[in-house]
Structure 1
Amino acid sequence: MNTVYDSTIEALIQGCIRGDSTSQKGLYKHFYGYGMSISLRYSKNIEEAVEVLNDSFLKVFTKIKKYDPERSFKGWLRKIIINTALDNYRHNLKYYHALDIENGESSPANETILSGLAYQEILAMVQNLSPAYRTVFNLYVIDGYTHEEIAEMLEISIGTSKSNLSKARENLRNMLKKNKNEYARYSRR
């Protein structure tokens, strides 16, 4: 561990506990990129991701006295951002359009396509998933939650969690296949 880094973060946290706005700004700036990378995975666009991130930091600043310095601050922050993103998902659920359950044809996976894609392209594909599929995909694949944990967090059945993950993967495969076909057409010109 870098002790200079640790002491800088600790000083910012202590300042935030005292309510120092300069420390809050410093902590926000320091963890902005990290937090945004999490928020973007759960959001349909950058505006929603910024809203989730800002709401998350508001929670951080109001609950910072509950932070246990024996634990990783990044882990604590990550959990707050994910929970805030889930709150946002549940709050906006009534506004999301229902996605046709039979959205896409069944096809075998071609995971090697991923190697040719940039991070931004993959993120855009994940963001194009329906909110329910995107949320379950992120929780399971990226953040490592079990279907039981996801079902409890989202107040859905375990079967729905598994189904949403399966459909998210199928939709991503179809997007990857389409991306590969478009690339092949473009490169033949």
Structure 2
Amino acid sequence: MHTLEQAELHKLLDGCKKGNRHSQDKLYSQYYSYSMSICLRYSKDRNEAIEILNDGFFKVLTNLDKYTRGLSFKAWLRKVMINTAIDYYRRNEKHWQTVDISFAKDEGQSVDLIDAISEKEIIALIQLLPASYRIVFNLFVIEGYKHEEIAEKLNISVGTSKSNLSIARSKLKRTLATWRKENYKDHG
């Protein structure tokens, strides 16, 4: 679906603010794919991503007065979805606390396979990461947050953020190496 023009978007947002169900449905369908692509990176699977996405859209619809007209709606929406994913992580982190030192050392191998695999496969690989590593990886690598910002958002130390990123990268390298072996075993 094409991106909404500013005037059309503002009319749609005004309808949403008034509680117009048709406007809310149209906003949801217009930005579903974009929002889902964000939520998938922060979730372990599609069902979890849908839960985050729906929570995020609820926040969007109930906080439209916080969106500043003239600024990018997609950027604001992205921030809401990321913060919703962080909230989801915080609510569930007691179930995800794990210590995994088997990946703490960097393997020293640079696996550059990003061009060989699709975005969907990359997301699937990221989803394999334990939640604490996945969220730090996404915030640092994809969203561009600094470790200090991540530590503050997740209520962890800067050292933990750095460690989780290192472990996430190591796990992804190992997973990519395995993927490469499985997909290119006939190519040498």
Query: If the length of structure 2 is used for normalisation, what is the TM-score?
Result: 0.93
Retained in 2: the 8 A contact 1:99–1:130? no
Which residue in 1 is equivalent to 2:18?
A: 18
Q: Counterparts of 2:3 and 2:43 in 1: how far apart (Å)? A: 34
**2:117 equivalent to 1:117:** yes
Counterpart Cα distance in 1 of 2:58 and 2:33:
16
Structure 2 contact 44–131 (Cα < 8 Å) conserved: yes
Partner of 2:181: 181
Higher mean alpha-carbon deviation, 145-154 vs 102-111, is at 102-111
Q: Mark the CA change 1:3 to 1:153 in structure 2 (over 3 Å): closer, same or farther.
A: closer
Provide the C-alpha distance between the structure 2 equivalents of 1:148 and 1:105, rounded to a whole number of angstroms: 22
Question: Partner of 1:155 in structure 2?
Answer: 155
The alpha-carbon deviation at position 184 of structure 1 amounts to 2.8
Count how many residue pairs are aligned between Structure 1 and Structure 2: 187
Shift of 1:70: 2.5
The alignment partner of 2:113 has SS state of helix
Aligned residue number for residue 57 of structure 1 = 57
Q: Does 1:43 align with 2:43?
A: yes
Q: Residue 29 of structure 1: CA displacement?
A: 0.5
Q: Report SS of the residue matched to 1:57.
A: helix
Deviation for aligned residue 1:109:
3.5
Where in structure 1 are there 5+ consecutive unaligned residues? none
The 10-residue stretch of structure 1 (24-33 or 5-14) with the greater mean CA deviation from structure 2: 5-14
The separation in 1 between residues aligned to 2:99 and 2:46, in whole angstroms, is 21
Query: Contact 1:42–1:85 (CA<8 Å) still a contact in 2?
Result: yes
- When residues 80 and 3 of structure 1 are mapped into structure 2, their CA distance, relative to the original with a 3 A threshold, is closer
Does residue 130 (structure 1) correspond to residue 134 (structure 2)? The answer is no
CA distance in 2, matches of 1:93, 1:160: 14
Distance 1:104 1:146 in 2: 20
Corresponding position: 1:5 with 2:21:
no
Alpha-carbon displacement from aligned partner over 1:154-184 (angstroms, at most 9, x marks no partner): 0000111011111111110011111111123
User: Within 2, Cα distance between the matches of 1:57 and 1:149?
Assistant: 24
When the two chains are superposed, the root-mean-square deviation of aligned CA atoms in Å is 2.0
Runs of 4+ displaced beyond 6 Å? none
Shift of the alpha carbon at 1:99? 4.2
Whole-angstrom CA distance in 2 between matches of 1:94 and 1:134: 15
Calculate percent identity across the aligned residue pairs.
46
In structure 1, what is the equivalent of residue 33 of structure 2? 33
List runs of 5+ in structure 2 lacking aligned partners: none
When structure 1 is superposed on structure 2, of 176-185 and 55-64 the one drifting more is 176-185
**Does the 8 Å contact 1:41/1:127 carry over to 2?**
yes
